A = this chain, B = another copy of it.
Amino acid sequence: MSDQKLKIIPLGGLGEFGMNCMAIRYGDDIIVVDAGMMFPDDELLGVDIVTPDFTYLEENAAHVRGLILTHGHEDHIGGVPFLLNQISVPVYGTPFTLALVERRLEEHEMLDEVKLHKVKPGDRLELGPFSIEFIHVTHSIVSCVALAITTPLGVIIHTGDFKVDPTPTDNLLFDLHTLAEYGKRGVLLLLSDSTNVDRPGYTESERAVGPRLEDLFVRSPRRLIISCFSSSIHRLQQIVDFAQQYGRKVAFFGRSMSNTTEIAHDLGLLTIPDGVLLRPQDAMQLPPNKVAAVVSGTQGEPMSALSRVAVDNHKHLSIERGDTVALSARIIPGNEKAIYRMINHISRRGADVVYGTMNPPIHVSGHGSAEELRLVLNLVRPKYFVPVHGEYRQLSRHAKLAQHLSHSGLEDTFILECGDTLEIDRDGARRGESVTVGRVCIDSGTLDEVVEDIVIRDRRSLSEDGFVLPIIAINKHTGRWEGLPEIVSRGFMSEDSTGVLKEARQIVLKTLESSTPEERGDWGVMQEKIRTDLKRFLNKQTSRRPLIMPVILEV
């Protein structure tokens, strides 16, 4: 049976940040690990969500045995509805991960069509030639698993996202033993999280945030407002516990915060003692020093609860002089300005804002630093290694970090980006043929509205220099233009442009008049001539390159 090839096919998240998705193929059988989304770069104007291009899976839909989710972060599950809209496939994950997926499927009215299968650490799942064992790992969200995927050619370990938290707040330790056993028996390939490879040493335990949170509860003279990622259930549990200890009631603000706390509470992953929970609408009724408000929106997203509170535009929560606002989250690169703007607003309201680097920390990362990555490399001792979950700079550094294992059985390391593939057979491992990958830009969170590249290109051009539209009216009887061409323009220049546009009309007229009768017979040609002449003129006069679009109107 092992005369077939094993293929590793990253469809997202390798060589880029976000939207993790990987296909693993043996012979004709395929399993998919995670289907994430990412938030778009600023350059992708008007785009709300980006998912991987799932063409490869669609073309091989008949062979896809299952979608396996490692944990419930957006960059691992956010693309699930979009993938399931294209192919029908059973989905496997821990109860908490699947509960989050359910919410998204509900939003897209797809819940009835999809089969969700709960798994737990220690379970084994057989899918075609693959036998998958789920291994508990620690991370910033609860219920995370790594995967040990046994194939006819050997075992693949996929870590998912992890840190090696020595003292997790829920006391569920990273299952190093199972990883060690696989390592001892021999692992063909390791796929391991590269996010924090740049950081030396160890990432601090989630518990390290405790002293800072406690300090906030002890010292805040008035209302305490804490913002964190709604999926940080460990963090929320610590907040709830300190609230009980120090006699404050907790109210949750923001849709994602209400959703995830409700789910986590239902599944017994978040314990809220009786009498601690406060309804959002009651938050301003209690004495300020009896309230802790937990608010989503750490990244300064304009419509988030915290952004609205910051500009005093929230129905149930206001910041008053002397309140304390703590941002218990990292700044995702690209969000700095929005976040600082929000902090400025909060400061103007007279609140004390606690954010950034401090000791004890107000936030710790969920991803392992260099020494944790080395620990996993050393436990697993794979024959082949492919760093995953990171931009190229991180993947290449992770590859270097594994070099010492060449003395302990590591035969080769491959830096793959999306679309690259790795082929393994009895003779060894090598790069295989590329597959179709890409980004699908989604305009407003519905399944249908995919913004095509041309539209994005136009929007970018429009955003820089606006547009100039020469409009030429053609008499449909004579075929000749009537009068002087009109020019319509927006976003191009300020009012001083009148002179330039007046001259531009003459330029268009000259182009019309200097054309041969043959040219004039073909309005496609004329449009191109007008565009070219006008482009040259405007660029020379103004150094700008507006979108130019000649319009021919038969009248």
Q: Which residues of A contact B (CB under 8 A)?
A: 15, 41-42, 45-46, 198-200, 333-334, 336-337, 340, 343-344, 346-348, 353, 356-358, 391-393, 396-397, 443-444, 450-452, 454-455, 458-467, 469, 471, 473, 475, 482-483, 486, 488, 490-495, 543-544, 547, 549, 551, 553-555
Contacts and interface: CB of A to CB of B under 8 A. Distances in A.
Given A462-B491, A467-B490, A344 B15 contact: yes
Given A460-B463, A492-B455, A555-B483, A336 B336 contact: yes
Nearest to A486: B553
A307 to B, nearest CB: 15
23 contacts: A42-B42, A45-B464, A46-B466, A198-B356, A334-B337, A340-B391, A343-B391, A343-B393, A344-B392, A347-B393, A450-B494, A451-B494, A454-B494, A459-B464, A462-B463, A462-B466, A462-B490, A469-B469, A473-B473, A473-B555, A483-B554, A486-B551, A491-B547
Contacts of A494: 450-452, 454-455
Nearest to A339: B333
Given A46-B465, A462-B462, A488-B551, 8 more contacts: A41-B337, A200-B358, A336-B336, A462-B467, A462-B490, A482-B555, A488-B549, A490-B549
How many copies of this kind of chain does the complex include? 2
Contacts of A553: 471, 473, 486, 553, 555
A459 B459 CA distance: 9
Nearest to A456: B491
A460 B491 CA distance: 9
Contacts of A492: 455
Contact of A444 (B41, B463, B543): B543
Contact of A458 (B346, B392, B466): B466
Contact of A491 (B346, B391, B455, B471): B455
Contacts of A464: 45-46, 459
Contacts of A452: 494-495
A344 B551 contact: no
Given A198-B356, A549-B488, A555-B555, A455 B466 contact: yes
Given A462-B466, A463-B463, A493-B455, A393 B340 contact: yes
A34 B5 CA distance: 68
A358 B15 CA distance: 24
B493 A353 contact: no
A99 to B, nearest CB: 28
Which of A392, A467, A492, A551 counts the most B-chain CB atoms under 10 A from its CB? A467
A466 B459 contact: yes
Nearest to A337: B334
